[in-house]
Structure 1
Amino acid sequence: MNLTQIETILLHGAHFTKEQREVIQAKGRIDVVAGPGSGKTTVLAAKVLALLTNRKCEDKGICCITHTNVAVKEILERLKLGGVDEIEYPNFVGTIQSFMDKFLGRVAFANILPEVTLKLLEEEKFYEKYEKNFRRIVTDYPPDYNVPKPANNGCELVIQEDGSFYYTNNHRRYKTAINLACKWLLEDGFISYTDLKSLCYWYLRKYINELSVAFGERFSYLMLDEAQDTDQVQMAIISGLAKSQKLNVQRFGDPYQALYTIYGAETEDSWKPSPDNVLYRTKEISETTRFGSSIAAVVRDVCVEEYEHFHSNQELDFFPKYFITYETGDELKDKQDRLIEGAAASNPEFRVSQMPDAIVGIMHSDVMKIDSHYSKEGAKQRAHEKSVSEIRALIIKLLASANGLSLVEE
């Protein structure tokens, strides 16, 4: 499938920009710096679609890793539009958690506890089992108090060279109890995502040469989505597997929206794209279709660092921005109506636009203050969807428990 066909499928008549085309067609190791509204996910999906539909049976696979199930679903839906209904061997599209579980975690666990079946638990379920163990150890712990969480106290699984293991944490009073409660869970096969990272990192360090060669033989491309949200351990694991120079490693994200520094955290970002990086060329997708020029200028200047080249697509006709002052909700609605009518009178395309006209607020209660008839749109539908989701989640939990599997596996 060529780029023109992919444009027709994914962009519905629009075209990729020059920057977007360069990223889709780029080979080798690159860091793709893409601002908000720049079409990063569409570009990533287009690249995966092009590689999958043009690959030959003897070609290596494509590996695409992202951070959330929502992002995976979004990519898979766009691939389906291009006729790729299933991701088959040797390809992989999934979350970084499922990636580590599939390629490293299970075999690492089998190395230290070969007679036990690994069961990766969601955080809530892991805490429930951990709490029972903790209270068995600390029998006089107040029943109305929450037990100290491992994650809140720096609890870490440490694995020795020979495969023996222990836990460590920084809690002053219950250090021993926390460690023992986690150790019992591990010996029964129950692990958290934090434990999974420790297992993967230990196993990678032990067999890094063999694993990197095997990984390079299976995949020709490794694409990491939302690279700015990748922590130090995750990035070390991915970088270790990507030692093979045959592998086209391409990291996509927005370093100016990084989770680990945006709120002033002390942790340094694991992904730092730089023009002088000799291993990774930097490519930018700096044009946004989400904002007009005035808002794009604000976004550019309020990021963690100045986003120098970030700008709005000049071909799009954005509605001018206005401040509305008002004293009552009726006055606000009246001024909004007159503003919309004026825009429609001066621009025929505005009247037929499918974009909604709405008064919005940070909280629903803010809008209710100025409009007594306002109600949360789709509340009944969402309540119905929530009920269905809860029933589905319950069924999966019951099946997982009966089959001795994790929720992810079930």
Structure 2
Amino acid sequence: MTEGDIEEAERVLGVSFDESRRSILQSNECFDVQACPGSGKTTLLVAKLYILVRKWSYARRGICVISHTNVARQEIERKLAGTGIGQRMLNYPHFVGTIHSFVNEYLALPLLRSEGYHVQIIDDETHADRCELLLNTRPEFATARNFLGVRERKLPSSDKTIRALRYEGPNLDLGSAAGKLPCGLDTRSGRILSRIKHEVVDTGIWRFDDMFAWAERLLTKYPRIIDWVRWRFPVVLLDEAQDTSELQASLLSMVFPAEACKLRQRFGDSNQAIYDTGQSEASTDKFPADGFRSITDSKRFGPEIARLAHPIAPEPASPEVCGNGPRTLDGAPDPASISHTIFLFSTETIHRVLPAFGELLLETFPDEVLRGDGFLARAIGRVGVSPQGENKIPRHLGDYWGGYEAHAAKFEPRLDELVA
């Protein structure tokens, strides 16, 4: 990669990269990038992808970009949709998507279908609802229903065994995402749970975790496929690496360990990890690995917030985080003159948080700034339902605003703005 390549990426993406970012773009070594909030790590990843695709000469081998969400893909679609390079990124032989879509497409579904199984939908909530329905309505399942009803009567719905049944490992052993099964599989209740799981998947309804078990099954039965996948994707870029669960990390380390890849770079921020997803934090191939590189300047907040945040960060950055943003809008007050605000609330008053935030914006910014094109305010980031338990508030956006429907966020088209 030359300076000219980077300058072309800067022009297309409308950004400017400093020396630390340029060194990451130019490097073909395997390492992790620990980037602070607002540092533009996904834009950096997209820039690297843009330069690589421009020079890519293979017809049947591609670049694999895996993320915890579709942020990287959406960034490409938003900034590069009108370019030929952008279209090439999103099509064969390259892959840009979530870890779930990668596992499904290249590992789990080919084996699952070859063994005669039907796939109608892969969705945890749909699977949980169907399992619970069978348990509660079938007379012959009364033994397990009574057993679980007594043992788990105080647990929130999301922590109940019946709603978390999944296959685990290459032998497709029955387990539960909620923890160890409360009964042996050779007991009457255990056999009922096995039967319920079997009946649900026979209708084509699966959990996301089931796909990881099928992927392990494929790699165990046909280990040479690992070599094929590595040949197929000699370059691997992982975004949001801090959110990788142990289940995901162990599978990725089987397929794409750093020592076996031509080029593997992981981007993320350990201080932004989602620790309450119901999955165990990754200990396999932990992020960031030794020898990682840091990006410590943020365009999301200024030096005041950086100074306050650094001492209380779970994993303090070294060197210290530097706040270089955000850009001050014309007519807006100087960020240094605005007092920081922390909202205190209870479960009973949580519905008042968003109105209070709105009132704070009205008090802080002039009307002409609020109405301007460059103004954007974000209040709450979690749009999906957290599986941490019904009694643990707050869990997601719906706890703050009762009119929000989390399941609607799964479907396109998505709105760029929401006015209520």
Q: Give the TM-score of the pair, scaled to structure 2.
A: 0.68
Structure-1 residue corresponding to 2:241: 227
When residues 76 and 101 of structure 1 are mapped into structure 2, their CA distance, relative to the original with a 3 A threshold, is: same
Q: Which amino acid aligns with 2:43?
A: T
Structure-1 residue corresponding to 2:102: 99
Structure-2 residue corresponding to 1:199: 214
Question: Residue 8 of structure 2 is aligned with which of 5, 8, 32?
Answer: 5
Aligned residue runs from structure 1 range 163-242, under 5 A? 165-169=172-176, 170-171=181-182, 174-208=189-223, 210-242=224-256
Structure-2 residue corresponding to 1:32: 33
The question of whether the paired residues in 2 share the 8 Å contact of 1:220 and 1:247 is answered with: yes
Instruction: Give the SS at the match of 1:251.
Output: strand
Aligned residue runs from structure 1 range 13-92, under 5 A? 14-58=15-59, 60-83=61-84, 84-86=86-88, 87-92=90-95
Structure-1 residue corresponding to 2:267: 252
Structure 1 residue 177: Cα displacement:
3.0
Structure-2 residue corresponding to 1:311: 322
Structure 1 residue 296: Cα displacement:
1.1
Task: Give the distance between the partners of 2:370 and 2:133, measured in 1 at CA.
Answer: 61
Aligned residues: 344
| In the alignment, structure 1 residue 293 sits paired with structure 2 residue 294 | no
When residues 352 and 232 of structure 1 are mapped into structure 2, their CA distance, relative to the original with a 3 A threshold, is: closer
Structure 1 residue 97: Cα displacement:
0.8
Instruction: Give the SS at the match of 1:23.
Output: helix
**Unaligned 5+ runs, structure 2:** 329-333, 342-355, 381-403, 414-420
Structure 1 residue 70: Cα displacement:
4.6
When residues 152 and 301 of structure 1 are mapped into structure 2, their CA distance, relative to the original with a 3 A threshold, is: farther
The question of whether the paired residues in 2 share the 8 Å contact of 1:224 and 1:250 is answered with: yes
Structure 1 residue 289: Cα displacement:
0.9
Task: Give the distance between the partners of 1:252 and 1:99, measured in 2 at CA.
Answer: 18
Cα distance per residue 1:96-118 (max 9 Å; x no partner) = 1110000111123246xx23323
When residues 316 and 176 of structure 1 are mapped into structure 2, their CA distance, relative to the original with a 3 A threshold, is: same
Instruction: Give the SS at the match of 1:73.
Output: helix
Task: Give the distance between the partners of 2:205 and 2:7, measured in 1 at CA.
Answer: 49
Q: Which amino acid aligns with 1:25?
A: Q
Task: Give the distance between the partners of 2:66 and 2:10, measured in 1 at CA.
Answer: 23
Q: Which amino acid aligns with 2:87?
A: D
Aligned residue runs from structure 1 range 375-386, under 5 A? none
**Unaligned 5+ runs, structure 1:** 345-349, 363-384, 395-410
Structure-2 residue corresponding to 1:109: 112
The question of whether the paired residues in 2 share the 8 Å contact of 1:34 and 1:285 is answered with: yes
Task: Give the distance between the partners of 2:80 and 2:203, measured in 1 at CA.
Answer: 39
When residues 274 and 229 of structure 1 are mapped into structure 2, their CA distance, relative to the original with a 3 A threshold, is: closer
Question: Residue 323 of structure 1 is aligned with which of 326, 331, 339?
Answer: 339
When residues 159 and 230 of structure 1 are mapped into structure 2, their CA distance, relative to the original with a 3 A threshold, is: closer
When residues 211 and 247 of structure 1 are mapped into structure 2, their CA distance, relative to the original with a 3 A threshold, is: farther
Task: Give the distance between the partners of 1:78 and 1:125, measured in 2 at CA.
Answer: 34
The question of whether the paired residues in 1 share the 8 Å contact of 2:63 and 2:95 is answered with: yes
The question of whether the paired residues in 2 share the 8 Å contact of 1:257 and 1:304 is answered with: no
RMSD: 4.4
Q: Give the TM-score of the pair, scaled to structure 1.
A: 0.69
Cα distance per residue 1:181-225 (max 9 Å; x no partner) = 1122234443210111111123223333x1221122111211111
Instruction: Give the SS at the match of 1:85.
Output: helix
When residues 53 and 266 of structure 1 are mapped into structure 2, their CA distance, relative to the original with a 3 A threshold, is: closer
Task: Give the distance between the partners of 2:71 and 2:52, measured in 1 at CA.
Answer: 22
Instruction: Give the SS at the match of 2:260.
Output: coil
When residues 198 and 77 of structure 1 are mapped into structure 2, their CA distance, relative to the original with a 3 A threshold, is: same
The question of whether the paired residues in 2 share the 8 Å contact of 1:6 and 1:82 is answered with: no
Task: Give the distance between the partners of 2:260 and 2:112, measured in 1 at CA.
Answer: 28
When residues 296 and 264 of structure 1 are mapped into structure 2, their CA distance, relative to the original with a 3 A threshold, is: farther
